[in-house]
Amino acid sequence: MRSTAQSVLARCDELAAITDEPGQITRWFHSPAMQQANALVGDWMREAGLEVRVDAAFNLIGRWPSSNPKAKTFVLGSHLDTVRHAGKYDGPLGVIAALACVANLKCEGGSLPFHLEVVGFSDEEGLRYQTTYLGSQAMAGTLRPADLARVDEKGIEEARRAKSEFLGYAELHIEQGPVLESKGLATAAVSAIAGQSRIAVELTGHAGHAGTTPMKLRQDALCAAAPIIAAAEKCGVLATVGQLAVEPGASNVIPSRVVLSLDVRHALDLQRLEACARLKAVAEAESKKRGVKLRWQIIQQTKSVPCAPELTALMRKAVALHQTRALELPSGAGHDAAAFAKLCPVTMLFVRCKGGLSHHPDESVAAGDVGVALTVLRDFLMLLKERHE
């Protein structure tokens, strides 16, 4: 499907030109650019013969009805919003590739034993309200009152849909990591979306003159922070210290206060929580040793979301038809699939991206890899069709 892959990439280019911030790719929830993006992709959906609507949460939905009106619905989707100064493919590739796959199936003729929808979610990145999955959570009916209070539009609850309506959900997405590239593979099924802990660590000691305070009499907040940072690198899961603020920040003054961020992720929640406990123990020991006050604040905790075994087995089988190895990889990044899992079984397909780079204007995918992903997605739907006929 190379020619189709080239068409998908061309449409990604066209969509990338729609932005709220000239000179870069930025689209946030219900902004002028998002409305324009929905209109453009909606036109492409209509060209493919789909029934098109935008729901109360501004999710774009293209529907191919089954010949059986009582059938359940299977959804292919991803998001059309972006981070600020984004790349072309994080989110939009999944929507446009899904549409291309459905368009090809329609051209082949026949029908499916389930309704098929292509969904472009309105807000996965959380750029406008700093809350992720606004579009998919609205559809899943899992928005909290606090989330709704952030929204400046009425009636978003009307986007909610019933669990009984759905058969499942599949999301094609760039890997956002380097594993596929290191393995020389184009695609992989996804086993789970990792759980995440975000923690703010504050260490408060005492400032002092760098030239007159003896080493043994110091309460150096930065020296207390250093072993925590080193422990994060060796804690056995994905752990990152991405922010570090040091006060007073003078070269000749002992640091009196340090605030650092901890981002800890793993597909198994128990391992993630155990790693967090070990890191906290290191922080407590160092604080006590150096006479430094510790404040350990959990900012956010999200549970891991395992992909549905039956759907993932079908995805892996489809991958095996086109690659010498059919891997299953966990996703360290969040996706709309995590929110949609509250509504129905979910699965995902990763596509190799150059250097594992994402959330960056240099995001890149190869047409050949997109072609493989399109055939995998088609074969997945055919396997699903066989199972439900």
Q: If you write DSSP's letter for every residue of 277-318 in order, what string do you get?
A: HHHHHHHHHHHHHHT-EEEEEEEEEE--EEPPHHHHHHHHHH
Specify whether the CB–CB gap between 319 and 284 falls below 8 A.
no
152: pLDDT strictly greater than 70: no
Residue 57: in which H helix or E strand, if any? Answer: none
155 neighbors 365 (Cβ within 8 angstroms): no
Among 40-44, 156-160, 271-275, which stretch is predicted with the lowest mean pLDDT? 156-160
Residue of 15, 59, 7 whose CA lies nearest to 339: 59
Label residue 148 by pLDDT band (50, 70, 90): low
Closest CA to 224 of 173, 291, 176, 172: 291
What is the rounded distance in angstroms from the CA atom of residue 353 to the CA atom of residue 65?
33
Which tens digits make up the pLDDT trace of 175-188? 999 999 999 999 99
Q: Using CB atoms within 10 A of its CB, is residue 213 exposed (0-12), middle (13-18) or buried (19+)? A: middle
Tens of pLDDT, residue by residue over 332-349, are 998 999 999 999 999 999
Which DSSP string do the residues of 183-218 spell out, in sequence order? HT-SEEEEEEEPEEEEEEEEEE----BTTTS-GGG-
Q: Encode pLDDT of 177-227 as tens digits.
A: 999 999 999 999 999 999 999 999 999 999 999 999 999 999 999 999 999
128: confidence class by pLDDT, cuts 50, 70, 90: confident
Report whether pLDDT(154) > 80.
Answer: no
Q: What pLDDT does 2 receive?
A: 52
Q: Is the pTM of this model over 0.85?
A: yes
Given phi > 0 = left and psi -120 to 50 = alpha, else beta, which region is 249? left
Q: pLDDT tens, 257-296?
A: 999 999 999 999 999 999 999 999 999 999 999 999 999 9
Residue whose tokens read 């802990």: 197
Interval 347-352 mean pLDDT: 98
Provide the 10 A C-beta neighbour count for residue 245: 11
Rounded CA separation 383/322 (Å): 14
Please give the mean pLDDT across all residues of the chain: 94
Cα-based angle 260, 26, 81 (whole degrees, multiple of 5): 90
The residue type at 47: E
In angstroms, the Cα distances linking 230 to 255, 257, 275 are 18, 18, 13
pLDDT over 70 percentage in the chain: 96
Q: Which residue has the tokens 């309704």?
A: 115
**Residue 349: burial class (beta carbons within 10 Å; 0-12, 13-18, 19+):** buried
| DSSP H or E stretch at residue 327 | none
pLDDT of residue 387: 94
pLDDT at res. 8: 98
Of residues 293, 306, 232, 239, the one with CA closest to residue 267: 306
Residue 131 in this model has a pLDDT that exceeds 80: no
